[in-house]
Amino acid sequence: MFYNKTMEKENAFFLKRSAEDIAEEEYIEEIADEPTGTAVVAQDEPEGVMIAWEAPEAEHIEKSTTWYWASMAVAIVLIAIALWQKNFLFAVFIVIAELAIFMFAGEKPKMWDFTIDEQGVTIEGHKTYKYSTITLYDIHQFSDEYHELVLQTKSKVHHYIKIFIHAEDEQKIREALNKKVPHGEIEVTFFEFLERLIGI
């Protein structure tokens, strides 16, 4: 009798613990099956989006000590010329510009999100250039890593929109845009060439 009661108590305790363990295991499995926030973002792509990518807003070029000395030398020459011509406003402008160059030259550009969908080309999810406003597009081979997508728009304020794309994505971006926008040659201006040459 005593043996049977003891066994019953032990069996009841075992069954109770087993039920709790099973419930805990089921809860852990449910959590493991739930997708994480990152996975949802990666898989839950907005309807109609053809291409999406992330790229810097501008090219980042590491500045050497020689570059800073050269920049300072050019600024000094320009200030001397401005003072010689008694153009004090221009001299002040050169000083401010040189200080700004020293402050921001070492900063890395922000990474922006871009999408191409049925409506147009969207930057950072809120600024969309609709196909009806884009008259022409071209792609320039900027570097080994990035190429530059140039959109010619009807706007007089932002006539050219320049967006970095990954070099390996150029072909599929061309295929997407060719269905919506005419392709044509947009030449690199002398000022843009100078910017790339001196790395500003």
Going edge to edge, which strands form the sheet with 146-153?
134-140, 146-153, 160-166
**Residues 105-129 pLDDT 10s:** 767 778 899 999 999 999 988 889 9
**Regarding the domain delimited by 48-59+111-200, which CATH topology (the fold level of the hierarchy) does it fall under?**
PH-domain like (2.30.29)
Q: pTM score, two decimals?
A: 0.56
pLDDT of res. 18: 45
Beta bridge partners of 149: 139, 163
Distance CA 168, CA 144 (A): 9
Query: DSSP letters along 118-185, please?
Result: SSEEEETTTEEEEGGGEEEEEEE---SSEEEEEEEES-SSS-EEEEEEEGGGHHHHHHHHHTTS-B--
Segment 153-165 mean pLDDT: 88
Q: What residue ranges do the domains of the chain occupy?
A: 2-34, 48-59+111-200, 61-107
